[in-house]
């Protein structure tokens, strides 16, 4: 009798657990996850050694931005292809064995696509904010078209001992082009990702002729197609075997360093 009751209880528990799992799945947000390698603060702290091969990164998405081993340039990924904008401002195709110390990628399925005319960077961001008003979820943003003006920067590969990112970016090469066709790729992330990723807009550019690109500082769009996708899931991959990562001081508030690094226009 007692065994019978235990058996019944077991069946009930199993059924309840099954229901809970089902209910959990039913309410889980659908769609692609933003996968990110490492944290932005560890990059700010100088953890520049690549940890994750590009061929593995491609398993997590076909669209995104990041950097390369030793900070050797700016990364763009779209349509599954990866571009490396080196310190000469030109785009290269990296070998898939190349590694990254920091990247954010997603499988990009746009939910909104609109045609845009002449727009400043501020107007472009305002349009994204209108189309995707929920600032508390992630947005992946792509613009393909003709740009009246684009201002970018890239970064040369670093040598050990690595200097902090805010120091490296003080003397980095900047590039400007007018009347250039190309693709802008990146994300708008919520304020609460501070420490993990870059709050606000973080965009990279590459020209169609692959002769120009980098981390976007400013632009003026002539005309183009804006596509965006909202993302409700985050998947993080942290370095397991990196002494530099293990020893990085990630308790420190690096918001001021990030601001200096990401948003500064030319100081020259």
Q: How far apart are CA 228 and CA 187, in angstroms?
A: 9
> What's the closest the beta carbon of residue 206 comes to Zn ion, in angstroms?
12
Q: How far apart are CA 169 and CA 264, in angstroms?
A: 9
Nearer Cβ to Zn ion (11/171): 171
> What's the closest the beta carbon of residue 26 comes to Zn ion, in angstroms?
37
Nearer Cβ to Zn ion (71/180): 71
188 contacts Zn ion (rule: CB under 5 A): no
Query: What 8-state DSSP symbol labels residue 219?
Result: E
Contact criterion met (CB below 8 Å) for 29 and 231: no
Q: What is the DSSP string of 3-46?
A: HHHHHHHHHHHHHHHHHHHHHHHHHSPPSPEEEEES-HHHHHTT
Nearer Cβ to Zn ion (60/215): 215
The number of C-alpha atoms within 13 Å of 56 and in the hemisphere containing its C-beta is: 14
Nearer Cβ to Zn ion (60/153): 153
Candidates 151-159, 171-179, 215-223, 234-242; binding stretch for Zn ion (CB under 5 A): 215-223
Q: Which residues pair with 216 in a beta bridge?
A: 152
Give exposure, 64-86, as e/b (b: 16+ Cβ within 10 Å).
Answer: bbbbbbbbbbbbbbbeeebbbbb
Q: Which residue of the chain is nearest Zn ion when measured via CB?
A: 215
Binding-site member from 49, 215, 228, 261 for Zn ion (CB under 5 A): 215
Size of the site for Zn ion (CB under 5 A): 1
> What's the closest the beta carbon of residue 19 comes to Zn ion, in angstroms?
45
In the region spanning residues 247 to 266, those forming contacts with Zn ion, defined by CB under 5 A, are: none
Nearer Cβ to Zn ion (200/232): 200
Instruction: Give residues in contact with Zn ion (CB under 5 A).
Output: 215
């Amino acid at each position: 009798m007692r065994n019978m009751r235990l058996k019944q209880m077991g069946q009930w528990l199993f059924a309840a657990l099954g229901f809970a799992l089902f209910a959990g799945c039913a309410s889980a947000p659908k769609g692609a996850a933003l996968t990110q390698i490492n944290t932005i603060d560890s990059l700010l702290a100088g953890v520049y050694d690549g940890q994750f091969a590009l061929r593995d990164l491609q398993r997590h998405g076909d669209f995104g931005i990041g950097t390369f081993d030793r900070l050797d340039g700016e990364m763009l990924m779209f349509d599954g292809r990866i571009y490396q904008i080196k310190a000469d401002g030109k785009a290269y195709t990296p070998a898939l064995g190349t590694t990254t110390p920091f990247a954010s990628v997603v499988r990009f399925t746009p939910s909104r696509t609109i045609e845009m005319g002449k727009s400043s960077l501020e107007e472009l961001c305002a349009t994204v904010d209108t189309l995707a008003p929920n600032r508390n979820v992630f947005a992946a943003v792509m613009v393909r078209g003709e740009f009246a003006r684009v201002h970018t920067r890239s970064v040369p590969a670093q040598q050990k001992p690595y200097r902090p990112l805010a120091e490296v970016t003080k003397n980095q090469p900047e590039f400007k082009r007018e009347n250039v066709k190309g693709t802008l790729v990146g994300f708008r992330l919520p304020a609460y990702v501070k420490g993990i990723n870059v709050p606000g807009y973080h965009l990279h550019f590459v020209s169609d002729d692959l002769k120009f690109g980098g981390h976007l500082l400013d632009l003026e769009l002539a005309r183009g197609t804006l596509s965006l996708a909202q993302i409700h899931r985050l998947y993080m991959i942290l370095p397991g075997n990196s002494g530099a990562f293990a020893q990085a001081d990630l308790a420190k508030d690096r918001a001021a360093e990030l601001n200096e690094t990401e948003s500064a226009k030319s100081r020259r």
